[in-house]
Structure 1
Amino acid sequence: MVAVFTAAATVMAWGCSRTQERLGAEIGEPPPVFAALDAGSDATPDARGLTNYCPSNKCPPGWMTCPDSRFPCDTNIASDPHNCGGCGLDCSRGGPGATFVCNEGACTMSCTSGALDCDGIVDNGCESRTINPTSCGGCGVVCAVGESCRYQDDTFTTVACGCPPGKLDCQGCKDVVDDDSHCGACNNACDRTGGPDAPQYANSYYGCASSQCGKVKCKAGFGNCDGDIENGCETSTIADDNCGACGNKCGAGQKCAVDAVSNKLACLCEEGLTFCQTGEVNGIPKGSCVDVRSDQYNCGACGVDCGSFIGDGYSTSICDYGRCLFRCTNGAADCNGSRNDGCEIDTNSDPRNCGGCGITCDLTMGQACVAGKCVVEPCDQADAGEVTR
């Protein structure tokens, strides 16, 4: 049996002392055992029924040393997509609309957004699409003859056969009530001039309303705020006093701009947030509100991207009160304190830094480090002297 001690227990025990016996004598009762006992012949119980454990270079179940391994037992064959179930068994390949992951030592397939595996055959990946009339939104959902499989709105999220009530299938579901290109029917585009005899008003055109053409409508960015059509659409609705609609006044410190999330005019931003412009829509600033104290893409000021400083795959960037910092991830550590090489140590498998910088396993015995812990196993009967617990 191979056990794995916690890093703390490893540091306590590697002096090959009777630490547990001394601790038990001090408190008057047997100390706890930090690894499961094995009743087999490999275990070496002492007179008090405790099992002696020694450093081990054997890999625990689920771990292997592969040809490309940097350290002993550093490959988790239960989850490594390049060594899934064994060294060199690669399941990182993809397929049409499919990705593969290693789960409990076996390659499993999952479909990407908009793709479906309806035939259950792995070799051809996720062969169906959610926008297909024979798998409309899900496997087995078949649209009626002559009925199309359509996205139900402009967000391109919900898929179903046909269109919802109030919309017509015009190569896409359209609301024909006020659509200037599909007014009352598909492809029925309104004459924006209203015809040769129609009066013309400032900042306006003739469009669709209540499924009928010939209705005076304001051009984008203008509104008829005084209700008098004779002077046309006289008010700009991209101003702070009428932001997106008549009478929508922005608060102190806010500005009227296009919200990058909703793609609509809105009063931006709330107190404590900064407007960072990402573009323009018809000359109108477009962007989003951010907290420059913590936004890693706008850290301290708009456009300062902390992620541009990180590239080693073992660290993540954060914005801390307007300053870009990095933190180590996935068991990596910055043991030399230099940002030039990032998080250079793998504390998951490095026996010289097992579970943390400077925590050393028994290098003479070739003791392995697995998941940040030095590996131990019950001592053989032939072992003598002071031993590790």
Structure 2
Amino acid sequence: MSRLQFQATTHALAALTLAFGVTACGDSEGTSSATAADTETTGTTSDESTTTTVGATTAGPACPPELEECAGQCVDVGFNPDNCGGCGVACADGEICSDGVCGLQCFGGSTQCGDACVDLQVDPANCGGCGAQCEPGESCSGGACGSDCVGGTTECDGLCVDTNLDPNNCGGCGTACGPDEVCSGGACGFECIGGTVACDGLCVDINNDPNNCGICGGTCADGEVCVMGVCGFDCAGGTVECDGLCVDTDVDPMNCGDCGVACGPGEVCNAGVCGLECGGGSLECGGLCVDVDVDPMNCGGCGVACEVDQVCNAGQCQLLCGGGTIECAGMCVNTNYDPNHCGGCD
């Protein structure tokens, strides 16, 4: 082989070696610069270019300033539960990573205080804020310590409770329901009324309860609310999100006119204003201004609750009929086809 043939063969092998190394790296920029170096310089320079390119494949990804490289991935150590506050710092089961610190995942408007999720609106040990403890004899209502409970609640052993729903204080302080009973409408029983559902011994409205959204135990994520049984970030039907709940600030005594504005003892919320009387045809029932024409918990009068499968219409409990049917004598019928109720119930 002549000297010219040897040089040509050497250059060809160097070019093939460089091309193979660049292709394996998948670096288009490296391909361009390496090819140019091979064309203009000697084989020694090409070897150095190849070494530099191959070495680059062992480096981690170039992460933006707000992210950190952990095990070959760009992660936000402020919120990544596997790398919380730093690479390899994993949160325990049931914990979340928030601002680089592992902690409990609190839902339904509750707040983490120490190692517990608490309701700052009613917890006398954390009233309005973690560690804000009420004085002996005081209760926490609406996030403020005081001697009186607001929003239709009653003070029982230092807690403001809803005696209409609390199974430990059903209808009054200290009246506890049986093991399999629930408290609904201030009475112990085995069924929930007014369209509510029994979840862990409590009658809840799965249409707007963020801890039981759509089904018992269907918990919405932090920041979400429950609207018509579906978790989301927006409230519907003229309601407003207050501490994870969609509420009607026109009538809610705990959020009257705005979130956190609680009416005083004996007051009700009417059209977003606290007062001593209800207006607009509504009636005061248990501290709430309600429309007894449509309220299934107070249908036709205070405390008159409809059954689970009933609705309140014109102050009367009726079956919840669908599919174009109507209630006639306790049955859902289609008056277009029913020979016994042709065109109407009569």
Please say whether Structure 1 and Structure 2 have the same fold, judged by a TM-score greater than 0.5. no
TM-score normalized by structure 1? 0.25
**As a proportion of its length, which structure holds more helix?**
2
- TM-score of the superposition, structure 2-length normalised? 0.28
